[in-house]
């Protein structure tokens, strides 16, 4: 027992070092003093002379783009072309080197981040799911939503059929990162989450690219319902 315990302590302390490294990492993207609180999205998202690089080489050069409210804009281009990077600049996951990203004419660097991001729903290739029930994964971050709203969101996302087939329905635990579900099912849970949030700005980054044709069709239909 003693040798086992010493083993556990060693493992724990190694993990602690790694966790501390993350907790202590410096936050480079922060709210400026007296940020603007965004309550709604009214006009447009604008990229004005935006250039961005991760390291030395520029990924985006002098991008100018206006996306008006109500419009659907698709970015098409080769892998590594910078599509995800451009999308990531809208919720300010990175700060631009030159130029500005504006929401309704306000620089995202001047916006209060939580209020700005709460206007957005994001569905990517990798769905961010947690070791919890289907219901809690759909309502993640939205504790005030009712059962009825959650069911409605699952229906819009084309997820109802497979949820009803599980033994515990909405109470089914989906495993670490949703490992007990298929790729298409995970995507539809993510879409249900976006539907429930009903955001003004919806960012989809290859939401269907890892799926087979029939799952893709279902997810595509779900996305159309959402929009």
> By CB under 5 A, what part of segment 48-87 binds Mg ion?
84
- Interface map 207-226 toward Mg ion (x if CB under 5 A): --------------------
As measured in angstroms, the least distance from the Cβ of 48 to Mg ion is 23
Distance CA 57, CA 151 (A): 46
Binding site for ligand ADP (CB under 6 A): 54-55, 59, 77, 79-85
Q: Can you say whether residue 103 is alpha, beta or left, with left for phi > 0 and alpha for psi between -120 and 50 degrees?
A: beta
- Nearer Cβ to ligand ADP, position 14 or 75? 75
Shortest Å, Cβ 17 to Mg ion: 32
Distance between CA atoms of residues 92 and 85, nearest Å: 10
Q: Return the number of the residue (83 or 145) whose C-beta is nearest ligand ADP.
A: 83
Q: Give the Cα separation of 104 and 111 in Å (integer).
A: 11
Q: Which residue is nearest to Mg ion (CB)?
A: 84
Closest CB to Mg ion among residues 83, 177: 83
In 3D, which of 165, 164, 169, 211 has the Cα closest to residue 187? 211
Q: At 206, is the secondary structure helix, strand, or coil?
A: coil
Calculate the CA dihedral of residues 215, 219, 222, 224 and round it to 10 degrees. -120
Residue 195 φ then ψ, to 5°: -60, -45
Residue 146 binding target from Mg ion, ligand ADP, none, CB below 5 to 8 Å by type: none
Min dist CB 82 to ligand ADP, Å, is 4
Cβ–Cβ contacts within 10 Å for residue 75, how many?
12
Transcribe 145-164 into DSSP letters.
--HHHHHHHHHHTT-HHHHH
**Binding partner of 59, given ligand ADP, Mg ion, none, CB within 5-8 angstroms per partner class:** ligand ADP
**Residue 179 CB, nearest approach to Mg ion (Å):** 23
CB of 157 to Mg ion, least distance (A): 22
141 binds, among ligand ADP, Mg ion, none (CB under 5 to 8 A by kind): none
Backbone angles phi, psi at 205, to 5 degrees: -120, 100
Minimum Å gap between C-beta 86 and ligand ADP is 7
Q: Which residues lie near Mg ion (CB under 5 A)?
A: 84
């Amino acid at each position: 027992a003693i040798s086992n315990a010493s083993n556990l302590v060693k493992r724990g302390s190694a993990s602690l070092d790694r966790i501390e490294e993350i907790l202590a990492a410096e936050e480079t993207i922060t709210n400026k003093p007296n940020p603007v609180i965004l309550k709604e999205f009214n006009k447009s998202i604008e990229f004005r002379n935006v250039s961005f690089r991760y390291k030395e080489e520029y990924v985006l050069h002098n991008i100018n783009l206006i996306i008006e409210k109500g419009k659907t804009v698709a970015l098409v281009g080769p892998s590594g072309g910078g599509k995800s990077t451009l999308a990531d600049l809208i919720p300010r996951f990175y700060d631009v080197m030159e130029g500005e990203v504006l929401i309704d004419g306000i620089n995202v660097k001047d916006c209060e981040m939580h209020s700005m991001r709460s206007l957005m729903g994001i569905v990517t290739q990798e769905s961010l799911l947690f070791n919890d029930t289907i219901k809690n994964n759909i309502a993640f971050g939205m504790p005030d939503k009712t059962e009825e709203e959650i069911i409605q969101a699952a229906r819009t996302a084309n997820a109802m059929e497979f949820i009803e087939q599980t033994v515990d329905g909405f109470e089914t635990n989906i495993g670490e990162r949703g490992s007990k579900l298929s790729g298409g099912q995970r995507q539809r849970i993510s879409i249900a989450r976006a539907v429930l949030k009903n955001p003004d700005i919806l960012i989809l980054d290859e939401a269907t690219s890892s799926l087979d044709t029939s799952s893709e069709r279902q997810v595509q239909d779900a996305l159309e319902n959402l929009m």
